[in-house]
A = this chain, B = another copy of it.
C-alpha cells in the first residue's frame, strides 16, 4: 500500500506561507466584522452586498449575479437580503423579463447607510491591510491571489475589477 505518488509535503517556506494565509483567513473577518458591527451595525458581508449594489447600474443586481460578486452561496444571500429588506435598505422585485429572477435594488436609505459606514470601514481596511504593505507588496499580493483564484474560482466569478464608478 505504499503510495509513492503521494504528493510531496510542504517545505518550510510553503508551510510558513500556508500558516500565514490560514491565519489571515481566520482573523481578518473578525477584525472587519467587529469594526463594522460596532460603528455601523453591519456585517462585512452585508456591507459587501450593499457596496456591490451601489456600484451596479441602477443600483440593481440579480440575486445570482450578486451572489457571484459577493462570493456567497444563494441560500446565504437569500437570507441576508431578506434581512436587509426588512431593514428597508434593499428592495426585491421580480424581474419583468424573467419571472424566475429577482432584482435586488439598493434603496435611498440603503445608499445613505452605506455612505455613512464607508469611511470607517475604509480606514479599517487601510489600517489592517494596506498600511503595512509597500506598493510592490500590494502588487505582488494581488498577483498571487489572482493566481490562487484561478483554481479556487475557476469560472472567474469573483468580482472583476470593472473599475466601475471611476
Q: How far is the CA of A13 from the CA of B134 in the complex (A)?
A: 12
We find that the number of chain A residues with CB closer than 8 angstroms to chain B is 62
B141 in contact with A21 (CB, 8 Å): yes
Oligomer: number of copies: 2
A145 contacts B28, C-beta separation under 8 Å = no
Residues of B within 8 A of A148 (CB): 24, 28, 128-129, 132-133
The distance in angstroms between the C-alpha atoms of A36 and B149, with both chains bound, is 19
Q: Which of B10, B137, B142 contacts A20 (CB 8 A)?
A: B142
Interface flag for A159 (CB, 8 Å): yes
User: A133–B151 Cα gap in the complex (Å)?
Assistant: 11
Give Cα A146 to B132, complex, Å.
9
Task: Tell me if A98 is interfacial: C-beta within 8 Å of chain B.
Answer: no
Question: Out of B16, B18, B26, B158, which one reaches A19, CB within 8 Å?
Answer: B158
- Does A150 touch B at the CB level, under 8 Å? yes
Whether the Cβ atoms of B13 and A138 lie closer than 8 Å is: yes
Residues of chain B with a CB closer than 8 A to A26's CB: 70-72
- What is the minimal beta-carbon distance from A123 to any residue of chain B, in angstroms? 5
Partner of A144, one of B9, B125, B141: B141
Interface residues of A (CB under 8 A from B): 3, 6-7, 9-10, 12-29, 31, 48, 70-72, 119, 122-123, 125-133, 137-153, 158-159, 161, 163, 166
